[in-house]
Structure 1
Amino acid sequence: MVCNRLVIAGIMVTGCTGSDGPSPFDSAATATMGTTNASDATSSPTTAAGTGQSTGSGSDGVDEDTGFKFDLEDPDSPGGVTMGCDKVDLLFVIDDSGSMSDNQDKLTAAFPGMAQTIDDTLVAQQGIDYRIGVISSNITDETMCLLGALCGPGYLGRLQHDEGRVPCSDVPTGRWIEGSEGAAAVGDQFTCIASLPQAQDFNGIPEGGSEAPLEATRMALVDRVADAEQYNLGFLRDDALLVLVLVTDEDDQSVWMTATNWPLFGGPGSIAPVSDFHDMLVGLKGGHPENLVAVAISGPASGGGETDAPRIHAFLDLVAPNSYWADISGSDYSTPLQEALELIEGSCENFIPPAG
């Protein structure tokens, strides 16, 4: 089902474990959302029962001839406002560790098909305005930058807009990809920038990286907007559906980054509760959980060995029913990306526009 407005903000793929610790987000939390079980899904939208069925709700307002969803005034929404989205901000958070090169290749191979589907349906038929940002899940501390570690575009939440691991010239003209450039250009630009260079240590030696997609997301949408550099200012729009796409083969290892709390020197610090990141993101979307979507291509919640990602699955549970999981070990990511797009379309129907 296609909705009137759509905004994709982020997609994360990662995995890690950790215990709850002090939270840096107390002031940002504005709303919470009930949880459902997302850990049983395999390449399909998450559901309470783990059956692979989409959890998007609502079928009112569907034209029986076209199948399109039109904006309707919802009596249960704040002030009876018209629900639905016409913008999508999509943020891909990609693991740059050495074990991820093949997975990055599968992602970039499958993405042009997703871009074409967006162009053929959401853009051509509904006039959806979408944009795509890419960042690394690596949260190397600023201090490490002075010692030779990777810390340019893509790192510490900065949007990646340069040539990645694979030589290419189709880089975006700005710091993110605009859907208005058309599916072919969007596909080429994503393929160019999403193959991230392998993480390095402070001696410039390839290393495992610090897979912290949730903290990297916070840095991208909060720190890199509010600091003096304002590197990502303008990417996140108040009136857009935010979509996070997480791609990783390890669990989230997010800590609250400060001058004395980093994972590469004497660390790691205390693992931040997953709920803090969820509440922070809901706060950025006006306190409306409906305005957030999370997609993860990662390991399972358990039983996957080193790829187990219980924290990522806990995050998906909090975002449910607007969440989707696919197994990072799959041979082709085309189907997961297309199914995630279906979830995004359904989530757009329940988007609550900002007041005014």
Structure 2
Amino acid sequence: MELRAWCAALCAGMMGVVGCGGSSGENQGSGSSGASGTGSSSGTGSSSGTGSSSGTGSSSGGSGEGGGLLDPGSSGALGGTGGQGAGSAGCEHVDVVFALDNSSSMNEEKESMRDVVFPAFAQALLNIESIKDFRAAVLDACPSPANFHTRGNAGECSFQSGEVWMDSSSTALTSEFQCVADLYSDDMECSGNSDDEQPASAVAAALEAPFSEEANAGFLRDDALLVVVAITDEDEQPVPRQSPQEIHDRLVATKGEAKNVVFLGIGGQTECDGVYGSADEAQNMQRLVSTFAEDGRGFFWDLCAGRLEDGLTNALSTIEAACEEFVPPPR
């Protein structure tokens, strides 16, 4: 679907959360209440459906200023300054980490994420009523080192924030993301023998000491919802070996509360050829999503089922629900 039409549909209809089309089981869906897909639920904390969003309601939208949704190739400024904020229930801040498999087979997925998905995803976050702002950080799928990227293959990205992350207030947010998501990985210490395809583990390492205290210091905010987006066309393959539950526990420990973490895993539900080429069955990624789905905070999107924009559309409902139920830190 053309971006402008997709964005309009997205901001007008963020209702149900549905999982990957064609099967059911514990590894699909967010497990959150209010799902309205066409399939019936089955398995633990899961939902099945057609892979497209449904529902007749509309979002309340944001009340910020700005020029609306962004077309690729424009100046990079996103319209709007967030939701209503004062007096609103739920979280006001979101911290998003994108971990992208940087193998050559991922070129089409990375291009889509840079040029189509992120601009509309960023705008849609700010259209959630309570959200005032968000931060976004990017790294590859190797945890050695797990420092957030500040440059792409073309050179330094020079974020307006002056930090190692992007801020939603930037007037060049889209172009900043396009720069950094063209992943520079010459500093990567992984061998490339499957140990460089562990996006969720890389995010966990980035948010733990020593990276959380040194290279990435200051990124996580106590009063922000953490959203992790991990994408690979193979599978989560942590080295040394860790179970999906152990990775879940590491990510939750960075926030101290499971309800304050949303995890979006993107991979192949089965081995297949999809719109972006071939994908392996991402068994570990699906199991990891299921550990977050128990709290209504996990969503898996099948690379074989359709385009990334469809998955992000559905995942926004999970983020909205989590924001409404955000557990603020004790004062």
**What range describes the TM-score normalised by the shorter chain of this pair?**
0.5 to 0.7
Deviations 1:158-184 (CA, angstroms, capped at 9, x unpaired): 0011123xx3775413200001225xx
Whether contact under 8 Å (2:266, 2:300) holds in the other structure is yes
Instruction: Give the Cα separation in 2 of the matches to 1:105 and 1:181.
Output: 21
Task: Supply the distance in 2 between the matched residues of 1:196 and 1:329 (Cα, whole angstroms).
Answer: 23
Residue 30 of structure 1 corresponds to: none
1:158 aligns with 2:154: no
Partner of 2:115: 109
User: Which whole-Å CA distance do the structure 2 matches of 1:236 and 1:65 have between them?
Assistant: 27
Q: Write the deviation string for residues 216-247 of structure 1: whole angstroms up to 9, x where unpaired.
A: 112100034356xx000000111110100011
1:296 maps to 265
The correspondence of residues 16-165 of structure 1 with structure 2, limited to 5 A, is 37-39=26-28, 48-51=46-49, 84-110=90-116, 111-119=118-126, 121-122=127-128, 125-140=129-144, 156-164=145-153
Paired position in structure 1 for 2:221: 237
**Partner Cα distance (2:229, 2:181) in 1:** 12
TM-score, with structure 1 as normaliser: 0.63
User: Unmatched 5+ residue regions in structure 1?
Assistant: 3-35, 55-63, 72-81, 141-155, 257-270
TM-score normalised by the chain length of structure 2: 0.68
Question: Match for 1:318: what amino acid?
Answer: T
2:94 partner letter: V
Query: Is residue 2:173 matched to residue 1:186?
Result: yes
Percent identical residues: 28
Q: Deviations over 1:104-152 (max 9, x none)?
A: 1111122112223334x13xx5452210010111234xxxxxxxxxxxx
Q: Secondary structure at the match of 2:221?
A: coil
What displacement does 1:83 show? 6.7
- 1: distance between equivalents of 2:163 and 2:106? 26
Distance 1:109 1:168, change over 3 A: farther
Give CA deviations for 1:298-346 in whole Å, capped at 9, x if unaligned.
111x444851111111110010121222222466322222322222112
Using the TM superposition, give the Cα deviation of residue 66 of structure 1 relative to its aligned residue in structure 2, in angstroms.
5.2
Relative to structure 1, is the Cα distance of residues 351 and 83 closer, same or farther in structure 2, using a 3 angstrom cutoff? farther
Higher relative contact order (CA 8 A, sep 6+): 1
1:282 CA drift (Å): 1.7
1:319 is matched by which residue type in structure 2?
F
Name the CA distance, whole Å, in 2 between partners of 1:349 and 1:65: 13
1:107–1:209 distance in 2 versus 1, CA, 3 Å: farther
Q: CA RMSD in A?
A: 3.8
1:336 aligns with 2:325: no
**Equivalenced residues, count:** 264
